[in-house]
Amino acid sequence: MNRFSITPPTDFVLARDACSYGYFLLAPNHWEPRTGSFSTVMDVGVEGEGGAVRVHVMQERLAGATLRVRLDRSVSALEAKAIRAGLSRMLRLDESAEDLAGFHALDARFKESGRGRLMRSATVFEDVIKTVTSCNVAWPSTIIMNRRLCETQGKASATAGPGCGHAFPTAARLARVRPASLRARCSVGYRDVRIVELAKMFVRGEINPGWLESAATSDEAIHEALLEWPGVGPYAAANIMQLLGRYERLPLDSESVRHGRDVLGFKGTPAQIMKKVQGHFAPFGVHRFRSYWFEVWAFYERKRGPAWTWERETTGKTFTASKLKDEDFAGERPPTGEREDRSTRRTQRAQKKRRAGETR
DNA sequence: GGTAGACCTGGACGC
DNA sequence: GCGTCCAGGTCTACC
């Protein structure tokens, strides 16, 4: 079998729902704007055996239309089942139109566009590592880290194709890598030890995806557990929770401060603005991350056009707080005073450093 | 509990 | 072309 079809939820639109979160721009995923098709590479075989599979998904431009899935090699029924499960997780095919109605009832702004699903990875492990690679780094570096993780540690697909030709590495694979090797080959920097340790925790069963994805597990229990993991702080924990489909916590970062200040008009220190952003989205209750995210996403789309037109190597690399802040958008240019503040702070730091050197 | 500084990389910037 | 600075979230030491 090298092709099959999937019946998605009645309101599912591939271009909208796949291009709904930054991970659609990260390897091994690839969105092709010209054809409106999504592809990825999945490692569905037994560890050490067989190659990865390139998976290509298309849909007619019609909500709820059948998803046509094409593979670059023939797969067994078991492998096909794993590919279906992976795609279902990535594209949130388990979230029906009725499920999203609850969100739209709380936040009617996104009812017309139908926004509600957030693209994620095929496995919890990949979501966790992708989150760690997005911490304390500009977005272009996250793109590089994920590409190199796939190219150097992931299983190769049988054929060449668009984007990365390798699957995302499994936990078993990353648990065996020396941290120094990961740092040298994948540019992950000090995250090397944390990534390998997380992989080992998955392999040893100390992190149990089943427990994390079980509806019986409380948000509080998961949040508490996540904060114990290496490389996972408040931002990463909240982000992993939204990837698990738990939208009540906001992963607030520097980008949230930019949004609070530039779009919502909040004033104050970054900490004060974050508090105001928290309060602003509180009325959206269990869906507050969706409200927050699609508001941010709408801002990006006003700047760069619809997400389904973005390409990883061009538009996709321009999403950094500093780039968005410094751009000369009509009516949204940062106040001159702020630019002067940045320049002044830089000069003051240089002076402080020089003084420190003189007193040594 | 709050704060300062180190961690590491790619990109921006000044010379 | 080279050197320096900056942004980014987590972690640890210290008060």
Read off the pLDDT of residues A280-308 as tens digits, 9 standing for 90 and up.
999 999 999 999 999 999 999 999 999 99
Q: In a 10 Å sphere around its CB, with 0-12 CB exposed, 13-18 middle and 19+ buried, how is residue A144 labelled?
A: middle
DSSP state of A60: -
Amino acid A18: pLDDT = 98
CB-based contacts with strand B under 7 Å? Answer: A 136-138, 140-141, 144, 183, 187-190, 317, 322-323, 326
In the block, which residue shows the tokens 């190219």?
Answer: A151
DSSP H stretches of helix in chain A: 14-18, 77-91, 97-106, 124-133, 139-153, 171-176, 179-186, 191-204, 209-213, 219-226, 234-243, 254-258, 270-281, 288-304, 321-326, 336-359
* Cβ–Cβ < 8 Å for A279, A256: no
In the structure, how far is the CA atom of residue A343 from the C1' atom of nucleotide B13, in angstroms?
Answer: 12
In sequence order, what DSSP letters do the residues of A292-334 get, joined into one string?
Answer: HHHHHHHHHHHHH--GGG--TTTGGGG--HHHHHHS--TTTPP
Residue segments in chain A with a per-residue pLDDT below the cut of 70 = 46-50, 320-360
> What was the pLDDT predicted at A318?
72
Tokens of A293: 């995210």
Q: Please state whether beta strands A53-59 and A3-6 pair in parallel, antiparallel, or not at all (unpaired).
A: unpaired
Tokens encoding A257? 């401060």
**pLDDT score at A337:** 31
Helix, strand or coil, per DSSP, at residue A108: helix
Q: What is the DSSP string of A267-278?
A: -S-HHHHHHHHH
Within 7 A of a protein CB, which nucleotides of strand B?
A: 7-13
> Which nucleotide is closest to the Cα of A189 by its C1'?
B8
Query: Residue A218, SS3?
Result: coil
| pLDDT value at residue A163 | 78
Query: Which strand C bases fall within 7 angstroms of a protein CB?
Result: 4-11
Task: Give the pLDDT confidence score for residue A50 in this predicted structure.
Answer: 66
pLDDT digits (tens, 9 = 90+) for A178-225: 999 999 999 999 999 999 999 999 999 999 999 999 999 999 999 999
Q: Which nucleotide, over all strands, has the C1' atom closest to the CA of A239?
A: C9
Structure tokens at A196: 């390998």
Structure token digits, residue A31: 């969105």
Distance of A234 CA from C11 C1′ (whole Å): 12
pLDDT at residue number A159: 83
Q: Which nucleotide is nearest to A183 (CA to C1')?
A: B8
| β-bridge partners, A68 | A5, A58
Protein-to-nucleotide distance from the CA of A327 to the C1' of C6, whole angstroms: 17
User: What is the dihedral sign for C-alpha A263, A266, A271, A274?
Assistant: negative
Give chain A's mean pLDDT: 88
